[in-house]
Amino acid sequence: MQPIIIVGSGMAGYTLAREFRKLNPEQDLIMISADDAVSYAKPTLSNALAGNKTPEQIGLGDAEKMGAQLNIRIEPHSWVRQIQSDQHQLIVEKEGQTSTLNYSKLILAVGANPVRLAIAGDGSDDLHVVNSLTDYRTFRENLNSCADKKVVILGAGLIGCEFANDLQHTGHQVTVIDLAAQPLGRLLPVHVAQTFKENLENAGIKFALGTTVEKISKQAQHGYVVTLASGQSLAADIVLSAIGLQPDLSLAKATGMQTSRGIITNSFMETNQADIYAIGDCAEVNGLLLPYVMPIIQQARALAKTLNGQTTAVHYPAMPVAVKTPAAPLTVLAVPADVDVTWETEVFEDGMLSRATDSVGTLRGFVLLGQTAGKQRLTLTKLVPDLIPAAV
C-alpha cells in the first residue's frame, strides 16, 4: 500500500499524525514541510514572553525527534509543486531537486498566511508578522534590541490583543491600532468590548481605534514613525502586524479543489478530489472556518479513524475560546453568523457574563470576562447546541 502523505507540519499535521499512530503504528506516513518541521503549539507564541520561554524552549521536538517518536518520514524544507490527483502523485522540490511521491491518501494541512496590507514608507518592509516559530525567532531577536521598548501592533483582534498583553506585561510600551471601533470586533458585543478595552488600558496598553496605518518611516537613529490616517503619529522600535490570516488555497486551487474562504470539505474532511482531505486552518468544514485549537483536535481525531478504515464524521460540540489576556481574562463562545440573538448581561465586581439567546430562548453563545464569570464556562457550554452534531 502506498504511504499516507501529510502536507504541513503545523499543529494540524502533527496532531493528525499522533492520532493516527494511536490507531495504526505500522502504515507508512510521510510529512512534507516547507520549514524545519519543528513541532510546537502556535498559541504559545503570543504569551511566551510572560511565560519566560525563549524560542528554543517553545519547540517540542525537531524533525528527527518527531520522526522517531511518530514513526514517520519527515521531509523538511520541501515544497509540493504539483498534485497529480489522477495518478495519486506529488511533485516535490527539495534543495533544487524534484522528485515524485506516490500516495494512497493525501492530507492538506497547509494552514493560513498572514494578511498583508500595502503600506507606504521606507519602513514598511520591516513590518513583522508572527505566524510560525521561525517568524517568532526573528521577532524576538529584533525585540531584544529595542532601545525604548515601544511596540506598535496593527490589529486589535485575538492575536493582536494577546501579543499586546504579553508585551505590556514584560515592560514594553504597546499601542494597538485597528480600523474597528472596538477590540475583538468580530467576537464581542459592544458593551463587553468596552469593558475589555478599559481593563487592558488600565494595564497600560494604548489603543488607536477607528483608524489605520498610512505610512511607516524609518527614523534617522533607530526605530520608526508610524503615521495614521487620523493624523496621529507614533514612535516605535518595532511594528507587528496581526490583522488576520487567510487560508492557503494556492495548492488546492491549482489542483481543481473547491474553495471558498477555505478548502471546502464535507464532515469527513474530504475535498472534491478523491482521497484528498484538508484539515486545520486551511479547511472549511461544512461551511465553518474555525482556526482554533479545539476544532483542529476534533478534526484530527475523526480523520485519523477515517484514514484507518473507520469512516468517521467530525463532531463539533460548542467550543469556547480562551483569550490569553491575563489583564482581562476572557472566554468567548461566538454566536453562529446566521443566528439572531439577544444579549443579556450580568455584572460582577471583576467583570461580566453576557449570554446570547435566540428567538426560542436557546443559549447560542456567551462571553465571560473576569475570574468570577469564567467559573461558569463548563456549565454554560453544556447548554449550547453542537455546531456539527455527533453522528448517530
Domains in the chain, ordered, with CATH? 4-113+245-307 (3.50.50.60), 116-241 (3.50.50.60), 329-381 (3.30.390.120)
- pLDDT reading at 82 higher than 60: yes
How far, in whole angstroms, is CA 138 from its chain's centroid? Answer: 19
- pLDDT reading at 183 higher than 60: yes
- 3-class SS of residue 130: coil
End-to-end CA distance of the chain: 31
pLDDT in tens, 99-137: 999 999 999 999 999 998 899 999 999 999 999 999 999
- Span 10-30, mean pLDDT? 98
pLDDT of 220 reads 80
Sign (positive or negative) of CA dihedral 361, 366, 372, 377: positive
Confidence label for 178 from pLDDT (cuts 50, 70 and 90) = very high
pLDDT in tens, 359-382: 999 999 999 999 999 999 999 999
Strands of 224-228's sheet in order across: 213-218, 224-228, 233-236
The CA distance from 54 to 52, in Å, is 7
Confidence label for 383 from pLDDT (cuts 50, 70 and 90) = very high
φ/ψ of 114, rounded to 5, equals -65, 140
HSE of 203 in the Cβ direction (CA atoms, 13 Å)?
Answer: 25
- pLDDT reading at 145 higher than 90: no
**DSSP letters spanning 279-327:** -GGGEEETTB---SHHHHHHHHHHHHHHHTT------B----EEE--TT
The CA distance from 281 to 262, in Å, is 8
pLDDT of 110 reads 98
HSE of 288 in the Cβ direction (CA atoms, 13 Å)?
Answer: 26
Average pLDDT over the chain, rounded to an integer? 95
pLDDT of 255 reads 96
pLDDT of 146 reads 85
Grid cell for residue 142: 529584533
pLDDT in tens, 300-337: 999 999 999 999 999 999 999 999 999 999 999 999 98
pLDDT in tens, 242-295: 999 999 999 999 999 999 999 999 999 999 999 999 999 999 999 999 999 999
The CA distance from 129 to 149, in Å, is 18
pLDDT in tens, 44-80: 999 999 889 999 999 999 999 999 999 999 999 999 9
pLDDT in tens, 192-238: 999 999 999 999 999 999 999 999 999 988 899 999 999 999 999 99
pTM, entire model: 0.94
Q: Indicate the burial class of 257 (C-beta count within 10 angstroms; 0-12, 13-18, 19 or more).
A: buried
- Span 4-29, mean pLDDT? 98
CB 224 within 8 A of CB 91: no
- pLDDT reading at 392 higher than 70: no
The CA distance from 103 to 85, in Å, is 10
pLDDT of 1 reads 84
